[in-house]
């Protein structure tokens, strides 16, 4: 069973130290996005990396629409990985939708997670009266339709929007390749689950210390969302990063590392 779970999610454990950092990638990506960041912590921490089922080198045969029809299926992946490795008191570092997956895991098992670090998180991507999520329903419908009709064009469109940093086009090119490496059918289903999720009512149940990191401009998640999460997660800190785009761990690894280190040093 343990071997099956580790193989299912392509789990890798690196580094040394008693404290464990678990890095969780966002939608459309895999564990490779942490390459520059995780390297900075290997001397002091044990680092756990994994791919959600359907991403990266995970066992895609283990994917089922029933299990992964909500964020709770992905949360279960996280809890099962931690159980298989017999982890305790972890620091969970999640990007984008993984921030909310980590929050759900912390609600389920607060004794498992010592601290949460959220990078570009959003509990709800859809705009509603009194809430600016960043997308109208029509935007999401068009995005999902584009993924279904022409997945490669979707990847080509979204990568530069997500990455920003037009002066470094290689960043968007690499992200586009990463998007295109995913199974289009699974990726579309993950997108639908991600963009239609709503974790707002759960935020007040998060009791573990939490850091919310928000780039100063993010085309996917408005800056107000970071403030919204901070106002609702009781034991949280909010920091605006001096970086552009939805992927600071890729585009600005040094600042991301510094923000994480400063928080962990407190």
> Annotated active-site positions, please?
96, 218, 246
Burial of residue 47 (CB within 10 Å: 0-12, 13-18, 19+) is buried
Cβ neighbours of residue 81 under 8 Å, at least 6 residues apart?
5, 6, 9, 11, 22, 48, 50
Closest CA to 143 of 82, 219, 198, 206: 219
String of DSSP letters for 137-185: HHHHHHHHHHHHH-HHHHHHHHHHHHH--TT-HHHHHHHHHHHHTS-HH
């Amino acid at each position: 069973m343990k071997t099956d779970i580790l193989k299912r999610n392509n789990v890798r454990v690196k580094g040394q130290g008693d404290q464990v950092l678990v890095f969780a990638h966002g939608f459309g990506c895999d564990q490779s996005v942490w390459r520059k960041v995780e390297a900075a912590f290997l001397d002091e921490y044990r680092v756990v990396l994994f791919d959600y089922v359907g991403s990266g080198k995970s066992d895609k045969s283990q994917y089922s629409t029933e299990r992964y029809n909500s964020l709770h299926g992905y949360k279960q992946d996280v809890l099962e990985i931690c159980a298989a490795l017999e982890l305790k008191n972890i620091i969970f570092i999640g990007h984008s939708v993984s921030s909310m997956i980590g929050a759900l895991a912390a609600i389920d098992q607060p004794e498992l997670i010592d601290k949460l670090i959220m990078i570009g998180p959003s509990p709800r991507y859809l705009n509603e009266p009194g809430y600016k999520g960043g997308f109208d329903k029509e935007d999401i419908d068009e995005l999902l339709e584009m993924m279904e009709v022409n997945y490669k064009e979707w990847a080509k469109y979204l990568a530069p929007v997500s990455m920003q940093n037009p002066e470094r086009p290689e960043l968007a090119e690499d992200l586009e390749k990463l998007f295109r490496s995913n199974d289009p059918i699974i990726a579309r289903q993950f997108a639908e689950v991600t963009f239609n999720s709503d974790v707002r009512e759960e935020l007040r149940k998060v009791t573990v210390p939490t850091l919310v990191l928000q780039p100063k401009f993010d085309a996917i998640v408005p800056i107000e969302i970071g403030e919204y999460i901070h106002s609702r997660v009781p034991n949280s800190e909010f920091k605006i990063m001096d970086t552009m785009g939805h992927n600071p761990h890729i585009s600005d690894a040094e600042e991301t590392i510094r923000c994480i280190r400063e928080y962990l040093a407190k």
